[in-house]
Amino acid sequence: MAFIRKKQQEQQLQLYSKERFSLLLLNLEEYYFEQHRANHILHKGSHHERKIRGSLKICSKSVIFEPDSISQPIIKIPLRDCIKIGKHGENGANRHFTKAKSGGISLIFSQVYFIKEHNVVAPYKIERGKMEYVFELDVPGKVEDVVETLLQLHRASCLDKLGDQTAMITAILQSRLARTSFDKNRFQNISEKLHMECKAEMVTPLVTNPGHVCITDTNLYFQPLNGYPKPVVQITLQDVRRIYKRRHGLMPLGLEVFCTEDDLCSDIYLKFYEPQDRDDLYFYIATYLEHHVAEHTAESYMLQWQRGHLSNYQYLLHLNNLADRSCNDLSQYPVFPWIIHDYSSSELDLSNPGTFRDLSKPVGALNKERLERLLTRYQEMPEPKFMYGSHYSSPGYVLFYLVRIAPEYMLCLQNGRFDNADRMFNSIAETWKNCLDGATDFKELIPEFYGNDVSFLVNSLKLDLGKRQGGQMVDDVELPPWATSPEDFLQKSKDALESNYVSEHLHEWIDLIFGYKQKGSDAVGAHNGEESFEDLTEESKTLAWNNITKLQLHEHYKIHKEAVTGITVSRNGSSVFTTSQDSTLKMFSKESKMLQRSISFSNMALSSCLLLPGDATVITSSWDNNVYFYSIAFGRRQDTLMGHDDAVSKICWHDNRLYSASWDSTVKVWSGVPAEMPGTKRHHFDLLAELEHDVSVDTISLNAASTLLVSGTKEGTVNIWDLTTATLMHQIPCHSGIVCDTAFSPDSRHVLSTGADGCLNVIDVQTGMLISSMTSDEPQRCFVWDGNSVLSGSQSGELLVWDLLGAKVSERIQGHTGAVTCIWMNEQCSSIITGGEDRQIIFWKLQY
């Protein structure tokens, strides 16, 4: 199927290059620049000296040495872990300009990875400690240039700000592209007429490869800058059947070209640096196709399907493609439905409707009891409401199914590790049961389940995927009793997909995934509420964010003696509660514009505050290691939770659970049973979970369903936790210095973080991948966002409006005279209050 064919294409290209190396050995968003034939010198200068022959590859974030002998592991040295880089034998790594007789390059580093020893695909081995490796180039005259390049890339890897690292590497890449051009000697025919040439990157799952695109009157060419995996990729325009514009990394820069009619696997996927280059190339090929190929639309495919000219399988392939899904993009991989409900019988009866899954419902609504729990949570949830805390498709889900055929992709996605053995794709029935009963598992299937290739079900590569708790090794996927073999399983799955029952009901599932039941009132009615909102609230939010650049300062009040640290507001908007480093909790009336109460619990700073549902109790966190509960009605401290060994930095609350972050390197989850009568009884707390970190935790945030938590530490790491299992999903070291603030997007698919390094980073929740990074000239201390735009409070006191898609600041708004330290926005996004180091709270007004 799609991914398997793509992998076979890549394997054919690797056979061409005769290498074990692949771009999947690189980090995400890393480039492979050049290679040099070399020897790795072991025990240099001693009588035990020996040489290992191979290729030294220079990449934007690492140095990789691939030995010719497959018994030797590939060596990967991250540049950020290098201590010294220079010519071997020099006194100091920086003296690399003196002439040398040998071609020796010395790398002194603190960490190295060993990969594919004996050509076995397995988790990477890591060795730590100060080491020196020497590589001797075949061409000694290239040593100075290679050392200079490595020093330049090393400087980039050591920059404090991730955005600065990316900018410097991008500048190096663009400089290399500018110094080269497409080699016209690669034209298939000397009579070809050049139409256009530009810079671009060829996209394959998880990786991209920069080079030059060239189009003539008869051919489309791509020439990789590094010559990998072959000097030129060539496509004859006469063979092209379809071409589509794609969004890549949320930007209109992608172009996908197909030479087949009924396949999801394209022949080339290109990402351009400029939208105009993409559009020009698209126009040229589309104009060519107008004279040779009939255009296909969703309507034309639907008519063919209704008339029986397309199978259910073919129709789903085309719908996925038209919906911007591509096997080159694991975040938008083609999605197919679970069809069969019965994975326990010895015989599969396709004449029995009970054999099939209800195609009118999303996976999350198939189990009535689970649906009732989800509906209860949905009804109690503040806006934006959605039914499920995870999606039906993601890169992690795709590779969950395909790990046996694509293990290197899993290792690339998970930093050189396979998933836990008990969380692997072990059994069809077990996976289906988890999708029916699991609290956060709502995944659908992929096209491979209805194809002809069984390799994704069989551990033919004899991978060591780990041992399960019961002691059994992870091997082939366990099939249902009605399947006599993997081939039989796929054939019966295909028969089920093309059955009369599915043909009569498939349109119901299509409406959920591709059609009118994706959102709005129809989505809510179908329990597909992933993106559904109350109409008025949604209109208010859209209107507010469309006008966020017109924000104006309305009123300001200096009510504290030190920096404001937290803001929370009663549901009717009349009372504003604030905390401060001056150790006080203040209650301010928005109507009378008067300070109504000032409460102090200790002489230590308060760090954050929130209101419990019902607006009867305020909770505050303190640097004295405690969390305080204050009864508004009775005007006194109601309770104290002494739960940490150091300052409590941030608190969150949802559904009678308190989440507290602390400088003691933990986030704790407490069950908080509220008092029956506020002010008369104490709360009772049970510690449900403790999320351990390596260093102080400075900020936390929940997703809307409270199934996920994101934390930020003082050393710049963002951690994403699954609260249903209290396990760490991803650990992303994406800031240098303290993480100031973090928050999930409304749909829970992305996390935004800001840090003391001035970076704004967007992280994909499912993969843990850093998908975009922007930098400002000062820290952004706090923010709110809607998934596309960001309103942030800066160190200088300005409010900044960021356009994430355009990667730019849209507006700067003058506000505080010191750093903006906290920001509050109501559910409708129509009311905004900020607090600052200038001890003020500012009420902002939106101008429509």
Hey, what are 639's tokens?
């309770």
Confidence of residue 143 (pLDDT cuts 50, 70, 90): very high
- Torsion from C-alpha of 158, 159, 163, 166, nearest 10 degrees: -50
Half-sphere exposure of 535 (CA within 13 A, CB side): 4
Hey, what are 585's tokens?
């909790």
Distance CA 507, CA 380 (A): 32
* Residue 2 contacts residue 447 (beta carbons within 8 Å): yes
Distance CA 445, CA 206 (A): 20
Distance CA 21, CA 31 (A): 13
* DSSP SS3 for 837: coil
**CB count in 10 Å sphere of residue 46:** 8
**CB count in 10 Å sphere of residue 272:** 23
- Please identify, in words, the CATH class of the domain defined by 353-534: mainly alpha
Cα-based distances in Å from 547 to 343, 791, 813, 830: 53, 12, 13, 10
The confidence score (pLDDT) of residue 629 equals 92
pLDDT of 570 above 50: yes
* Residue 834 contacts residue 823 (beta carbons within 8 Å): yes
- Residue ranges of domains in the chain: 21-89+101-178, 191-295, 353-534, 539-674+683-846
Cα-based distances in Å from 355 to 65, 340, 360, 502: 54, 6, 15, 11
Query: Does 2.30.29.30 match the CATH number of domain 21-89+101-178?
Result: yes
Hey, what are 11's tokens?
């394997």
In this structure, of 220-234, 360-374, 753-767, the range with the lowest mean pLDDT score is 360-374
The confidence score (pLDDT) of residue 4 equals 60
Distance CA 182, CA 188 (A): 13
The string over 739-776, giving b where at least 16 C-beta atoms fall within 10 Å of a residue's C-beta and e elsewhere, is bbbbbbbbebbbbbbbbbbbbbbbbbbbbbbbebbbbb
Cα-based distances in Å from 332 to 246, 322, 391: 11, 12, 11
Handedness of CA 235, 237, 240, 245 (dihedral sign): positive
pLDDT, tens digit, 9 for 90 and up, residues 220-232: 999 999 999 999 9
Distance CA 247, CA 638 (A): 53
The confidence score (pLDDT) of residue 426 equals 95
Nearest to 643 by CA among 688, 607, 579: 688
pLDDT, tens digit, 9 for 90 and up, residues 649-669: 999 998 889 999 999 999 999
Average pLDDT over residues 137-149: 94
* Residue 224 contacts residue 276 (beta carbons within 8 Å): no
Mean pLDDT across the chain: 86
pLDDT of 572 above 60: yes
Distance CA 687, CA 669 (A): 6
pLDDT, tens digit, 9 for 90 and up, residues 49-66: 889 999 999 999 999 999
Average pLDDT over residues 296-304: 81
The confidence score (pLDDT) of residue 31 equals 95
Higher pLDDT, 442 or 106: 106
Distance CA 127, CA 129 (A): 7
Distance CA 20, CA 738 (A): 39
Average pLDDT over residues 819-829: 91
Reported pTM: 0.64
* DSSP SS3 for 141: helix
Average pLDDT over residues 485-501: 96
pLDDT, tens digit, 9 for 90 and up, residues 1-18: 455 665 555 554 444 445
In this structure, of 48-57, 247-256, 573-582, the range with the lowest mean pLDDT score is 247-256
pLDDT of 680 above 50: no
The angle at the Cα of 833, spanning 827 to 837, to the nearest 5 degrees, equals: 140
- Bridge partners for 651 per DSSP: 660
In this structure, of 36-45, 278-287, 394-403, 682-691, the range with the lowest mean pLDDT score is 682-691
In this structure, of 120-134, 372-386, 574-588, the range with the lowest mean pLDDT score is 372-386
Average pLDDT over residues 559-572: 93
Tell me whether the CATH fold assigned to 353-534 matches the one assigned to 539-674+683-846.
Answer: no
Cis peptide before 229 (omega within 30 of 0): yes
The confidence score (pLDDT) of residue 244 equals 87
Confidence of residue 357 (pLDDT cuts 50, 70, 90): very high
In this structure, of 364-368, 600-604, 722-726, the range with the lowest mean pLDDT score is 364-368
Confidence of residue 294 (pLDDT cuts 50, 70, 90): low
Distance CA 834, CA 817 (A): 12
Distance CA 622, CA 368 (A): 43
> Which CATH superfamily does the domain covering 539-674+683-846 fall into?
YVTN repeat-like/Quinoprotein amine dehydrogenase (2.130.10.10)
Distance CA 50, CA 759 (A): 46
Average pLDDT over residues 94-114: 71
Query: Does 2.30.29.30 match the CATH number of domain 191-295?
Result: yes
pLDDT of 493 above 70: yes
Confidence of residue 92 (pLDDT cuts 50, 70, 90): very low
Nearest to 261 by CA among 289, 221, 288: 289
Half-sphere exposure of 119 (CA within 13 A, CB side): 9
Q: Which helix (H) or strand (E) holds 488?
A: helix 486-497
State the DSSP string of 539-588: HHHHHHHHTGGG-EEEEEEE--SS-EEEEEE-TTS-EEEEEETTSEEEEE
